[in-house]
Structure 1
Amino acid sequence: MTTRIGLVGAGFIGGRHADSLAAQDGVAVVGVADPRADRAAAVAGRVGARAYAGWADLLDAEDLDALYVCVPPHGHGAVEEAAIGLGLALFVEKPLATDLATAERLAARIGDAGLLTSVGYHWRYLDTVETARGLLAETPARMVLAAWLDKAPGVDWWARQKQSGGQTVEQATHLFDVARMLVGEVSGGSAVGSRSPEGPGDILDVCTAALRFESGAVGSFSSSCLLPRGTRIGIELVAPGLGLELTEHQLVVSDRDGRRTVDRQVDPIAAEDRAFVAAVRGADDDVRAPYAEALRTHRLVTAVAAAAAGNGTVQLPATIGAQR
């Protein structure tokens, strides 16, 4: 049987998911909703779907097995609420929201409904991340050095605090998520940030955090959107006799045998889409970031962002590591 999927949000990441899904056998993207008619029509045309002006029209018109929510951070909330009411399996692009309260509310409703969910932390599907996890299993990391030093994306909402949540929440969240996956939960720390006159919008354009993990490992996480292009986007891990440098494209391993580079062999977005569709069909369950797991990362990044904009102390919710 054909798995029928609706897509809300026809921007860059929504288009990547649409193309990935359309390439799978037995999957049909049947509707694409976006308030910009040109974008909805362009993505819908590529995958043989119908274009809709809004998600409510899409949900009213189509019989769906699952819904992809690929909206800007401030767009989360109402569309997920409607999908939960319909009992639809949900794929939600990160971040979960600009704030924590919206994500907590949705997580509670999803948990009560028992819905299948997946969140777009696609770095979790990198084969190089699996390699790194295997290497760290016997030699746990003692230090994490993460940086997202880049330019500001060209979309108008990104540099507006109320619409994106800032760079830590919207972009560097991938690094915090991978650190949680490879090192464990964070117990506390501090963060500082600043905004220069040259910075875009009203977000902090430089931010750095010093964190301690429950394992005793320590880490620093720095981000900036002031550069003309991406110069350093990745995470380094230091363990006894082992150094790892991980980006979205490759892993560099330094150990007693020397230094070697391992290029990724999989498209992580295609991999996460295949895993989600398989779970929707009940054929397999390799969903690596269900909503409850992604919520733990969102709790962390919102705490870091609040500290950087406030008194500097990262105050983690008591539920930071709690399962729902």
Structure 2
Amino acid sequence: MAPPVIADLRSDTVTTPTPEMRAAMASAAVGDDVYGEDPTVNELQAEVARLTGFEAGLFMPSGSMTNQVAIAVHTRRGEEVVCAEGSHIYEWELGMMAAFSGVVPRFVPAPLGVPAPEAVRLAVRHSVHQSPTGLISLENTHNKAGGTIIPIDTIREIRAVADAEGLPLHLDGARVFNAAAALDVPLSEITRHFHTVSVCLSKGLGAPVGSVLVGSAEAMKQAHRYRKMLGGGMRQAGILAAAALVALRDGPTRLKEDHRRTRELAEALVKAGFDVNLAAVQTNIIYVTLPNAAGQVAKWAEQGVLASALGPDSVRFVLHHQTGDGALEQAIEVLTA
């Protein structure tokens, strides 16, 4: 028999719906969203668009889908997408930009997940002898770099590069609410610099399912077609959107506590001798470098603490609202024993 779980720190996607979410799901008004007739989905889309400063939004099952639909909207086959090294759109989306949109990535260096605007400019291609650039994409926070934040001034400078080069700028904002909480700014202060933004509701905010792509009304009209091509039309999706609305309204207020606990865990790991780059611990993610990562993760799991081995020598911990102070204290005892 598996031991009881003290803390599931594999991801912030492992949270279960709160009682408020379940009540909202049970009473949700629904319609056929493929026809645009689900009132709860429409409410969710409008609210995310308002919070991010865009004309319209489109609800989809996952952030991978919203990212890939955005790439399809912005690019043509044979083009390149300039993105930071380690970007989720390449590392964790199974080559979909090539398979679906016929485009390939061009990576730029990104220390702590932050590409330099000049590096982005130098990566842009317009030559007839090379694949032209079709899109610039950023990720904020940057998952693989450790949940790190792109400073707003850097975003502003990269938008200036995009404008000068005549290119659209997309944001993979899977954890953009975490970035806004850490910077203590309104969400729109980050998102307004982009042409499209993917906002995930099932990570730090705690919804059971869903992401919203936001942009202009015309872009969302195109996105609707690509969502349909990918099988993302969910019909009476208001049941899911209702839980997402609760997450959207309640979740952001909890993020700073997630960040506090993450820092507490990171410092405890360092004190115990683990290799953690504290400069990268800016939001709710910690990466630890250690030998035989899979074996160590398995030993911790036997004691009720779950983590993710993301390579032979890399372990990731992600904090979320369903890991409270008591569970964290017990987890630290296990991890540092």
For CA contacts below 8 A with separation 6 or more, give which structure has more relative contact order: 2
Q: Shorter-chain TM-score category? A: 0.3 to 0.5
TM-score normalised by the chain length of structure 1:
0.34
Between Structure 1 and Structure 2, which shows a larger proportion of helix residues?
2
Between Structure 1 and Structure 2, which shows a larger proportion of strand residues?
1
